[in-house]
Structures are given as C-alpha cells and as structure tokens.
Amino acid sequence: MRPSNAVPTALSRTRSSLERLSAGFRWLLAALVTGLVAALGLTRSGLHRLAALRAPVARVVRGPLAALVLGRRAAVSVILVGITPVLAALTAGAVASTTGYRPLERWLVGTWTGTDPRIVVFVGAALLVGLAAAGAAARAGLVPTGLLVAGPVFGVAVTRYGTVVSTYGGERVVSLPDAVAVAAGVAAVGSVAVVAVGYPLGAACRRAVRIVRTDRGERNEE
C-alpha cells in the first residue's frame, strides 16, 4: 500500500476553497457596485434629478407633515402640552381619594371582558375620545393631542404605587419607579389607541363646521 500524506491534500483543498470564496466575493462586490451605479444613476443628470427631488420632499416634511405632527397653531399645542401634567395630577388625586387603584382595575377588567360592565368606564373612555377630538378641532398636532390624552391615563395608572401585587416570587409592594414605568407604558399605548379614534373624529367635525359656515356665508351674500 502506498503511504498517503493527508496534510498536502488538506492544504490543497483549503486553498481551492479559499480561491472559490474569494472569486465569489469579488463577483458579489462587482455586482453590488454595478447595481448601485445603475440604480442611483451616478451621472450628472442623475444627481440633478436627486437634487430636484430634495426640495419637494423637504416642503412636505416641513409643511403638511410638520403641521400634522406638531400642529398648525403653536400656541394651542404649547397649551395642551402644559395642561398634560395638570390633568395627570388631578386624575391621580381623584382616583387615590375615591375608589383607589384596585377597584378601578377590577372595573376595567370587568368592562373589557363583559363580566361586570361599569358605566363609569364608558364615560371615562368617551371623555378621552372627546379630548382627542378637541385637540384635532383646535388644530393641535398628533403629538400634543396624544400627550393631552396620555395625562389622565398616566394619572390613573400611577395610583398603582404602594399597592400589593402577587408575583411568582410572592407578594410585593409596587415601588415608585415600577409604578411610573408601567404608567408611562399604559399611557403611551392608551393614548395611541384613543387618538386613532378621536383625532379623525375631531378633524371631521372641524371640516363639517367649516363647510356649514361657508354655506351660510354664501346664502347670506345671495
């Protein structure tokens, strides 16, 4: 039997594999560069087209998009943002001095599941939708309106502070950082849901009022 030397064979195979990988990598790099050049059109006319597109995009971002997000009336948006912590404090104080967090939590769960519906929960939800609609009617943006709605939701959820909860490790008292973090998360999710319903409603009402006023003005002129 002829003795075999496995080391040169392994080295040869490794070199062949590396060469194939290197060739594949070069081909992939060339294809990516070619595709990038073809897609962007790195010519003078292509660059001019990209520059021409920048101005309309900038106008949209600074105009309608900024108005939708931040509002058309800066004073109204600032007022709504300033009211947010006041509503949060008032709501937290009202809940803490009346029902407390635990009964309110049971009411929310019972209303959501249908096992124990409470009219106060529906009234509270309607008031939140009304706040979102009012923000839209006042031409405030999505962000100020969302903060306005998040204030009362945060105030309700933060009253969880100091209550006893059951966990896998046993019972524990809710700390202030825990209560604030959970309340912030609940307020963020709840405000998005409420604004998604109330903001279009308020915008539609504002548009309807404007149409009615325009129609009345035209009739008076006649």
Maximum average pLDDT range among 169-173, 201-205, 209-213: 201-205
Distance, CA of 129 to CA of 168 (rounded, Å): 36
Whether 103 and 212 map to the same domain: the answer is yes
- Residue 41 confidence (pLDDT) above 70: no
Whether 83 and 165 map to the same domain: the answer is yes
Q: List the end-to-end C-alpha distance of the chain, in Å, as a whole number.
A: 116
Q: Residue 206: inside a domain, yes or no?
A: yes
* % of the chain surpassing 70 pLDDT: 69
Whether 17 and 107 map to the same domain: the answer is no
Residue 64's pLDDT is 65
Residue 189's pLDDT is 93
Whether 77 and 164 map to the same domain: the answer is yes
- Residue 60 confidence (pLDDT) above 50: no
Q: Which of 2-6, 76-80, 123-127, 133-137 has the lowest mean pLDDT?
A: 2-6
Q: What's the whole-model pTM score?
A: 0.67
Whether 15 and 123 map to the same domain: the answer is no
Q: Residue 168: inside a domain, yes or no?
A: yes
Q: Residue 20: inside a domain, yes or no?
A: yes
Which has the higher per-residue pLDDT, 165 or 154?
154
Whether 138 and 162 map to the same domain: the answer is yes
Whether 42 and 133 map to the same domain: the answer is no
**Average pLDDT of the residues of the chain:** 79
User: Do the beta carbons of residue 131 and residue 148 sit within 8 Å?
Assistant: yes
Q: Residue 66: inside a domain, yes or no?
A: no
Q: What is the DSSP letter of 166?
A: E
- Average pLDDT for 32-45: 60
Which has the higher per-residue pLDDT, 122 or 169?
122
Number of domains in the chain: 2
Residue 167's pLDDT is 75
Whether 56 and 79 map to the same domain: the answer is no
Q: Domain limits at 211?
A: 73-221
Q: State which amino acid sits at residue 120.
A: V
Distance, CA of 199 to CA of 71 (rounded, Å): 12
Choosing from 33, 60, 87, the residue where a domain stops is: 60
Q: Residue 51: inside a domain, yes or no?
A: yes
